[in-house]
Amino acid sequence: MKSIIATLAILVAFHTAACAQFALGGHVNALFPLGDFSTFNQSGFGFDLEGRFGIDKPLMTSASIGFHSFRSPNGGRGQTFTPITLSLLYALSTTEIQPYLGFGVGVNRVSSGSAGLRVTNSYFGISPIFGVQYKSSEQIYFDLNVRYNLTFASSNDAFDLLNRNAAYLVFNLGVFYKFGQ
């Protein structure tokens, strides 16, 4: 009996996943440090890979991983952030042009130093989002959004990479391909 229930559950899960709307895409980023974080870092660049579930519905979920690189003002190497974020996005419209609001939480891996001596640590972060997605065709979506990334510093780090919270704006331009119905 348990194997029949397990088989039915797996079939329902696969059917739901096959009928679901899933989009996979990426962004290129322009990064602008804010506050105290801007005294130690200059603007930078990056990219994100993102998967979105429920792409045509008002409520979407998102999982993303990125690479954000900042330059040092004194010509040094600067810092790199690898944000791993889970987000909820709410579409404000269901037309071809969809503005949306969102909020993400996740882990930011922060690295600093030269190639020979690089120190890396993990920090908790949040990320409010405002964006617009444009439905170019049934499968292609273009996305433009602004994120406010806030990484919380930890005062009990063995290697104190972030003395204070790190805040920066991320301007994203990307494209998504939608799978499913």
pLDDT digits (tens, 9 = 90+) for 98-115: 999 999 999 999 887 766
Mean pLDDT over the full length of the chain: 83
Q: Which CATH number does 2-179 carry?
A: 2.40.160.20
pLDDT-above-90 percentage for the chain: 50
Mean pLDDT in residue range 15-30: 78
Give the pLDDT band of residue 13 (cuts 50, 70, 90).
Answer: very low
Task: Report d(CA 104, CA 52) in Å as an integer.
Answer: 13
Sign of CA dihedral 165, 166, 170, 175: negative
Sign of CA dihedral 175, 145, 75, 79: negative
In the chain, where are the structural domains located?
A: 2-179
Q: Which residue has the higher pLDDT, 123 or 24?
A: 24
Task: Report d(CA 21, CA 48) in Å as an integer.
Answer: 20
Burial 21-41 (b: 16+ CB within 10 A, else e): ebbebbbebebbbeeebbebb
SS3 of 104-153: EEEEEEEEEECCCCEEEEEEEEEEEEEEEEEECCCCEEEEEEEEEEEECC
Task: Report d(CA 177, CA 172) in Å as an integer.
Answer: 16
Residue 125 exposed, middle or buried by CB count within 10 Å (0-12, 13-18, 19+): buried
In tens, the pLDDT along 128-150 reads 999 999 999 989 999 999 999 99
Give the pLDDT band of residue 15 (cuts 50, 70, 90).
Answer: very low
Q: Is the pLDDT of residue 57 over 50?
A: yes
Overall pTM > 0.75 = yes
DSSP 40: H
